Structure formats: C-alpha cells, structure tokens
C-alpha cells in the first residue's frame, strides 16, 4: 500500500488593506485569517470597511502538507500562535492582487 507524499487543504484567505503612513505606497496589506473550506463568495468581496481600512475575502488558496515536514507542522501548531505564509502579488494584467504560486 502506498502512502501519499502530501495532502492538500482548500482554504479561503481574508486580507486587510490599510492606508499607509508612507510617501512611497498608498496601502499596506496583511492576511488576517484563513477560513476552513471555501465560502460562497467571489474573490475580492469586501467584508468590512472603516475610515482607513477594509477587509476582503481575497479568494481560495491551497495548503499543501508534506509528510516530510511533520515535525515543523507539529512545532508550528504547538507554538501557541500557529502561522501560515501568504504571498500576494499584483499582476500587470489585472487590477486585483492574486496569490503567488
């Protein structure tokens, strides 16, 4: 019997945009949560908005878990503040930011 080398988990990513206090950029972006599963919402749906910021459902992403990284996953989960790495980049052909692959 063969054991798969990795597993994939679909998540939805929520990001926050805030007005930057910088002469070089207009906004800062940061991921705020990863949703278990995929919501019934289009990418870049505005979830909330206040004076200087907004949160968006940025879209679907896939977490790939590799069995050779089990110790690192265990350490991350046991840290008390587990984290995911989210990379966003603007594509010249699109007005929206997309996930890097």
d(CA 54, CA 47): 7
φ/ψ (deg, to 5) at 11: -135, 155
Instruction: Tell me what the pLDDT averaged over the chain comes to.
Output: 88
d(CA 87, CA 44): 15
Q: Has this prediction a pTM greater than 0.85?
A: no
Looking at residue 2, what is its pLDDT? 77
pLDDT band at 5 (very low <50, low <70, confident <90, very high): confident
Strands (E), 1-101: 6-19, 27-36, 45-49, 53-66, 88-90, 97-99
φ/ψ (deg, to 5) at 73: -65, -45
How is the beta sheet containing 53-66 ordered, strand by strand? 27-36, 6-19, 53-66, 45-49
- For the stretch 62-98, pLDDT in tens is 999 999 999 999 999 999 999 988 888 776 665 655 5
d(CA 52, CA 36): 28
């Amino acid at each position: 019997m063969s054991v798969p080398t990795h597993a994939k988990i679909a998540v939805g990513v929520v990001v926050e945009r805030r007005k930057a206090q910088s002469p070089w950029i207009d906004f800062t972006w940061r991921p705020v949560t990863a949703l278990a599963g995929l919501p019934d919402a289009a990418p870049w749906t505005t979830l909330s908005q206040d004076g200087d910021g907004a949160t968006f459902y940025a879209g679907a992403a896939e977490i790939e878990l590799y069995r050779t990284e089990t110790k690192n996953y265990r350490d991350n989960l046991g840290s008390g503040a587990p984290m995911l790495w989210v990379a966003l980049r603007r594509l010249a052909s699109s007005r929206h930011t997309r996930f890097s692959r």
